[in-house]
Amino acid sequence: MSVGAMALAAGVAALTVLLVGGPLGGLAALRRLKGEIINPDLPERYRGKAGTPTMGGLLILAGFCVGALVAGGWRIGGVLVVTLAFGAIGLLDDMLAQLRGRSLGLKARQKLALQVAAAVIYTKWVMSAEHTLTVGWPGVHMWELGWLYLLFGTLFMVTMSNATNLADGMDGLAAGLTLLGAAALAIVGSVVAGVTPAAKEAPVAAMALAGACAGFLGFNRSPALVFMGDTGSLALGACLAAVSMLTGTELPLLVIGAVFLAELLSVVIQVISFKTTGRRMFRMSPLHHHFDRCGWPERKVVTAFWIAGGVAAALGLLLIPRP
């Protein structure tokens, strides 16, 4: 995939988000809704964010789709469809929370069931489109999984989707991390992508996602004018997973997305520790709220996590052997 096509995807996606959110009235339309409902467990200073427009993930999805289609066409339709499917799950969750007037929408098992269903369908499509179902480190060693890839791919996509969802808790945090991760994944994917049309075009989708997140940061950086909600955060991780599954870069994504995984692991460790010992390992989870409770200003936490995300992305790039 050419550098020009990836640059076009990112540029068109970013411009679309800015246009839809600004002159075309997208942000104004979101302001008519009730806005963000703050979790009562969060520190008192978060109360000021109550009422901030949410479901801004719709802006990200609009930019992503336009950028990907303009630069890549329908050959990456599978990535588009599954990203929109996870976005729809998040949108349903956000809408139910709005209607109920509390921070909980779908029940956890309902959300998980919908995610698994979408991930299974996409994984089966990848299996039929790519034919070779291997997992490993490109250029080093790959393992053939056969039909076990259905289980792996489903678990991988659901894990990445929930990891990005957990990282969405501060102004600009998830969007900035995704921008870094998606750009790195696009570069890695363009180096190691397979021979099928979908695999060759997949890096365009990653760059479209990076561009959409860059445009969204124009509204979401501190102090945020809009939050992405689950509409955006669930879709971001699903898109990253979808691209990596097409290009055979699942394991490199685990390095590139290390900060997302740290957020997820902090929650898992917290739950296990509390249920088994009655003690909490962190002051609050996900991880960014631990530093929040330690007294770090929000902007300092976000900056530190962006730097960590940049280091992880660079490491993922450095570890990929060049052809």
CA pair distance 85, 285, nearest whole angstrom? 27
Q: Rounded to the nearest 5°, which phi and psi values hold at 138?
A: -55, 135
Q: Before 223, cis peptide (omega within 30)? A: yes
DSSP 118-161: HHHHHHHHHHHHH---EEEETTTEEEE-TTHHHHHHHHHHHHHH
By three-state DSSP, how is residue 264 classified?
A: helix
pLDDT tens, per residue, the chain with 323 residues: 578 899 999 999 999 999 999 998 899 999 888 766 666 666 666 666 777 888 999 999 999 999 999 998 878 889 999 999 999 999 999 998 888 766 677 888 999 999 999 999 999 999 987 666 788 888 777 888 888 999 999 999 999 999 999 999 899 999 999 999 999 999 998 887 665 667 778 999 999 999 999 999 999 998 999 999 999 999 999 999 999 999 889 999 999 999 999 999 999 999 999 999 989 999 999 999 999 889 899 999 999 999 999 999 999 999 887 65
CA pair distance 300, 286, nearest whole angstrom? 16
pTM: 0.94
By three-state DSSP, how is residue 236 classified?
A: helix
What is the residue extent of each domain of the chain? 3-318
Tell me how far the alpha carbon of residue 316 is from its chain's centroid: 17
Rounded to 5°, angle at Cα 84 from 83 and 89: 100
